[in-house]
Structure 1
Amino acid sequence: MLKKTSIKALFRITALTMAFLIFAVTGAQSYSLAAGAETLQRDQETVSSTVEGNSHEPTNNETPNITEEALNDETLNSDEETSLDESFHNVNVGDLEIMGEDTSFITPMAHPIVWAGMGIGQLLGWLAGGAAAIVTITKFGVEVVEAANFLSEYNKSKKKDRPRYYRVYKDNSAMYVGKPMSDDDALRHISNPFNELWTPDYNSGRELAFKFATAKGKVVGPENHWDTNYNDTRYFTHFHGEKPNKTRTGHIFYGTDSRMGKFPRP
């Protein structure tokens, strides 16, 4: 009975030992296979990453496959960008300002003054369209013509851009016209109260006086001082412009209206 029991125990121990050995061998193989698969997967990923990286950066022994057409396109684009950059930097500030302005109300450039710089003799020839019938004289150290004679020639002229203001000179019996002046020059000249000038007509004389006086000032005249002076001198009708502070222009003579003084000289 004891012998039979021992044999059974031996068989049981042997079976358990064999089962343990089989389990150990099988588990080791499974672990080895899993580890190998994981290592293989990592190696494949590493190789793929290397291949992808190298595909964008050619090695020293490889030449990128760039066609001549692509090179030409890049060169053309580069030239266009450079041209645009240069055009942008070459734009003038003045051009930009004009682009942003409404130019529909720009005043046309004024025509040059034809008679600018002429003496009274040249001006008479220009007014007459040739040779003038009036002879100028040299008096007061300059070329002049008597105002009455000049006015006759002036009124006959068909020129539309005739000068309206002139240097003026006087003696005891007559008034003389000298070089012409532009409207702006006339205003500057007469702003000095010791200066005088002459104009052919009433309206031009009054207009100049008003320009100096402005709306807050006043136009003085027309006036003539014949009734407070001696009868050996001729006095001519004129305007003054007067500012609010009482500053006055010099004499603005117009036309030929004049009178001898009233009182005999003692």
Structure 2
Amino acid sequence: MSGAPRLALHWRILIVFAGTVLVWLFLYHGALPGRDYDRPTHVARAILTTVLVVPLVVAARRLLDRRGWTGLGLPSLCAGWRRLLLGMACWLVPAAIGFALCLGLGWVEISLRTSASDAARVAALLLVLVLLYEALPEELVFRGYLQRNLATRLPAWQAVLGQAVLFTLFGLLVGAATSLDRLLLFFVFALLLGGFRAATGDVWAGIGFHLAFQTVAQLFGEVGAVFDVTGAGVLGVVAMGAVPFTLGWAAIERLHRDRLNWRALEPDPTG
């Protein structure tokens, strides 16, 4: 890319963060108003989120950073599918252990509201919607663009912490995290996903982990509306949070131990 002068780092981060917040606010409160959930609105918001956010990041990378796409850490799916599946497995396998623990100890009871085929259909749809509405755009912005930019000036651990603060503030501003427990979830989740980016070098594993977590959480919640859950709070904290977050990170850290360097800076080439 051209070596022409570019905006200072704090301005680039502020512009992209503000643009991201405005996109989510526009889609949730502006273009498609109404808080009552329905599937067609979910589909529309998911598609529009990716359609708006990906060009936003592309434009920011070219016009504000004056750098190429490669630094964002989103190589082609052909190159990243193994890390995508790894990220999904890092959540799904420990979560299965957590589910078995909660059910086996009688902390949680789960019953199916509908047929198994209908539950499978809803799960497949949610997988696509979560990818388009949360996993891909959020990872591209926060662990891709923002963490990458921070990591060219700050040690890796500070870049991870910085994007986690921004992600938590994002959740607050768009209305997705307005209680203390939700703010804490956003912060811890962002720290974990930032660690995935630092360990693997790209965002595919984080997309996979994010995708698995959000899909199952929505499937067992009111968005999916196919299960009745007694003890949903325990299920969320233990089976969907503590166990997969802890064991998932342990797996990533072990697999990428040789690459992970919390004090390193990322290069900022012009190409």
Higher strand share: 1
Between 1 and 2, higher relative CO (CA 8 Å, sep ≥ 6) is seen in 2
Larger radius of gyration: 1
TM-score (norm 1): 0.23
